[in-house]
Structure 1
Amino acid sequence: MSRPVSVPPAVKAPVLDPTVRHLYVHMPFCPSICPYCDFHVLTRRSGQVEAYLERLEQEAAWLASQYDTRLDTVYLGGGTPSFLRDAEIAALVGSIRRHLGWGRQENTLEINPGTVSPARAALWRELGFDRASVGVQSLDDATLKFLGRQHDAAGAREAVTTLICAGFRVSGDLITAVPGQPLERDIHGLVELGVDHISAYTLTIEPGTEFARRGVTVGEDDERAGFERTEELLTAYGFARYEISNYARPGQESRHNLAYWNNRTYLGLGPGAAGHYPATRSPAVLGSGGGEEPLTLRRTNPHLHTWLTGEQGEMEDIDAEEYVTDALFMGLRLRAGLDLDELAQRSGLDVRGRYAAAIAANVQRGWLELDGPRLRATPAGWWVLNRVVTDFLEA
């Protein structure tokens, strides 16, 4: 008589919400390519946008047939989505609404300052966007020229003011650690314009970019100085740093991006878009003897020319352990950190027990702090987060 297979007490059936509540849409076209950019972007050519919109409709219909979707947030990024003509962006939004619905809590449009006018801002609001992520990057003309931006400081100020007047919640993007940048003036200027959210990213030189070919470098001391000074200034202005690179006035955090950082599932629509999906197969309990089934799935779409042929991109199974390490890497970016007991419920793993040594070692180093079930990175830990997460991977 064979013995029944038992489940170790540290492993339980995972409890994940099967409904997808977030959608990212990638629009790859830009009026020009910035020298620091390594995203999937390209300049517009005849017929490409029309082909993109047709394929987008098909992919939206396919996603709707595969997943139970009730959207809380939609994020249209790029590229420069606001570069689309009025009829084109209306067609894009129509495809999303027809097949997948629309966000009940927040709908964000990435916007280049040079594309804004009062009439266009009114159209975007009419289409259903309520949050604008504006690529300001700097309010200093010399810095903007170095970054290869097509707008000037006056144009950025006018764009932000127009969007606020149109009723948008406005987030301003800022690049720090740029040689010669007047950081204090940039931050003061953005705050003075009335934005309620600021995303501050250190200038990073990625392989294959124009800056990399030119030999542009960013010193670690400059990077750290910008990192620390940005927090000092924005905290003094009443913004809270709720994620490594993101600051908000109370209640103005990006709900869509919080879904990423909390390792929730989301759809990825468009060329180069990544998605994190519920597993189409019911997850088996780990240790049951039947082999591991994925807890969730990750798919990254191919770039435009391949995507237009209908190819769906690579699908990757995410098991419970990878799900947990992904959640740790993303969640430790948040000032609030993450709840290990809640993560254990979602994954089925005894997170506190399995990673006790890695947690203890990093608490001792002063890089993590554990408050009941909540694990968070300290400011020192944020600076070495990749090293912290490596300890969990090795565990």
Structure 2
Amino acid sequence: MLNPVKHLYLHVPFCPTLCPYCDFHVLTRTSGMVEQYLQRICEEVQHQAALYPVDLKTVYFGGGTPSFLRDAEMVHLVESVRSGLGWGQEENTLEINPGTVTLERAALWKDLGFDRASVGVQSLNDTTLKFLGRQHNAQQACKAIEILLEVGFRVSGDLITAVPGQHLQEDIKGLSELGIDHISAYTLTIEEGTEFYRRGVQVREEDEREGFELTAELLTQQGFERYEISNYARPGAHSRHNLAYWTNQHYLGIGPGASGHYPTSRPNLLSQRITNPRLYDWLKMPFTERDIEDIAPADFVTDALFMGLRLKQGVDLALLTRQSGLDVLERYQEPLQKHLNKGLLTLQEGVLKATEEGKWVLNQIITDFLLRDAEDAEDSGA
């Protein structure tokens, strides 16, 4: 008997424009495409409901720009989810572009059952926003947050750091003073295939490091807790949905390009990651034809370490041993000791945490754990 899945991510791929730094699965809307998308979502919801027991605690509509959907389309989308899977009992988040917010629309989103807004502010400097290809200005961002707070949303603001010429102190101060209780601060990365990549835009490592450290320093001074590498919250305002990702819990992934982490009853596996194809294939391919990654115990451990070490609370190795059936301390003794000695990890009372320096090089740390698994697979002839 599978345990109920408690979290749902739904992907809305449509955007008003395509930002030059974005490498998510997004596209502008075309005639009839949203209607096809909405119909296919209904079908996928019913398919998922038939496969997995569900008792939703959190729902997250991400994108893309979910708030770009017209009011009737948003109503349709929410009703499709509610009818097939229910609704989150603890937290329901809608990603919002500042330029889509009006008092009437915010009230509708609240009435539909969303209680948390994740707003793509990115900066409060108009020059920086223009460089990032954003269609809103700083005044619109401030007004949008004001409206969302007035309607009763818990509000999180997204911030991009390490942007060439950015006045980061002003962005952080301005954002923290708007009355929001959560800030997600991500370093600008130039991904292959994006407009920035084609233009040859570069981000200097010293700017990345400065933004990484300065954001933590300034937001901590403003009363925010850094509970995850890139996420800061006032007391009680942590993102419950995102914590499900970072603690390696199961969640449904619905919509084109969406990925989910699912329970399975297959022997020798702990779970599966299933990823949907992009929109045009997603519209026509059977739901049984998806990219499926089987999660064996060793995969589960490295996933849990990679995500859990991003958290301030770290990873309880005794719990991870029980979950995976592997003795984590024994199996990964060599990479653990290496990074403990280097001061990149700490281990106290069975809880493994990344130090401040360790958070900066977390990918390198996890690579050593993966190499340990590769050696084991080679020894076993797999």
Q: Give the TM-score, by structure 1 length.
A: 0.92
- Contact conserved, 1:302 with 1:311, CA < 8 A, in 2? no
> Are 1:19 and 2:4 an aligned pair?
yes
Which stretches of structure 1, 4 residues or more, deviate above 2 A after TM superposition?
A: none
- When the two chains are superposed, the root-mean-square deviation of aligned CA atoms in Å is 1.0
Paired residue secondary structure (1:193): coil
Aligned mate of 1:346, from 323, 335, 358: 323
Question: Matched residues in 2 for 1:171 and 1:17: separation?
Answer: 33
Question: Matched residues in 2 for 1:269 and 1:138: separation?
Answer: 30
Q: Which residue of 2 aligns with 1:324?
A: 301
> Are 1:382 and 2:367 an aligned pair?
no
Whichever residue aligns with residue 278 of structure 1, its letter is: P
- Contact conserved, 2:2 with 2:53, CA < 8 A, in 1? no
Question: Matched residues in 2 for 1:210 and 1:391: separation?
Answer: 33
Counting matched residue pairs gives: 370
Aligned mate of 1:369, from 300, 325, 346: 346
Whichever residue aligns with residue 52 of structure 2, its letter is: Y
- Contact conserved, 2:2 with 2:265, CA < 8 A, in 1? no
Question: Matched residues in 1 for 2:348 and 2:84: separation?
Answer: 43
- Contact conserved, 1:55 with 1:310, CA < 8 A, in 2? no
- Contact conserved, 1:175 with 1:203, CA < 8 A, in 2? yes
Q: List alignment gaps of at least 5 residues for structure 1.
A: 1-15, 284-292
Question: Matched residues in 1 for 2:190 and 2:330: separation?
Answer: 39
Q: Which residue of 2 aligns with 1:212?
A: 197
Paired residue secondary structure (1:200): strand
- Contact conserved, 1:174 with 1:200, CA < 8 A, in 2? yes
Query: Which protein has the larger Cα radius of gyration, Structure 1 or Structure 2?
Result: 1
Q: Which residue of 2 aligns with 1:169?
A: 154
Whichever residue aligns with residue 75 of structure 2, its letter is: A
Aligned mate of 1:314, from 276, 280, 291: 291
Question: Matched residues in 2 for 1:90 and 1:373: separation?
Answer: 47
- Contact conserved, 1:161 with 1:193, CA < 8 A, in 2? yes
Q: Which residue of 2 aligns with 1:334?
A: 311
> Are 1:62 and 2:37 an aligned pair?
no
- Contact conserved, 2:248 with 2:304, CA < 8 A, in 1? yes
Q: Which residue of 2 aligns with 1:302?
A: 277
| 1:250-275 alpha-carbon deviations (Å, 9 max, x no partner) | 11010000000001010000000000
Question: Matched residues in 2 for 1:88 and 1:352: separation?
Answer: 50
Identical columns (%): 64
Question: Matched residues in 2 for 1:91 and 1:343: separation?
Answer: 40
Question: Matched residues in 1 for 2:286 and 2:300: separation?
Answer: 26
Q: Which residue of 1 aligns with 2:72?
A: 87
What displacement does 1:353 show? Answer: 1.5
Whichever residue aligns with residue 167 of structure 2, its letter is: P
> Are 1:129 and 2:129 an aligned pair?
no
Question: Matched residues in 1 for 2:151 and 2:350: separation?
Answer: 43
Whichever residue aligns with residue 151 of structure 2, its letter is: A
Question: Matched residues in 1 for 2:243 and 2:85: separation?
Answer: 20
Whichever residue aligns with residue 343 of structure 2, its letter is: G
Question: Matched residues in 1 for 2:333 and 2:265: separation?
Answer: 32
- Contact conserved, 1:137 with 1:174, CA < 8 A, in 2? yes
Whichever residue aligns with residue 81 of structure 2, its letter is: I
Q: Which residue of 2 aligns with 1:188?
A: 173
- Contact conserved, 2:2 with 2:264, CA < 8 A, in 1? no
Whichever residue aligns with residue 140 of structure 2, its letter is: G
Paired residue secondary structure (2:284): coil
- Contact conserved, 1:139 with 1:186, CA < 8 A, in 2? yes
Q: Which residue of 2 aligns with 1:278?
A: 263
Q: Which residue of 1 aligns with 2:379?
A: none
Q: Give the TM-score, by structure 2 length.
A: 0.96
Question: Matched residues in 2 for 1:39 and 1:392: separation?
Answer: 28
Question: Matched residues in 2 for 1:100 and 1:52: separation?
Answer: 18
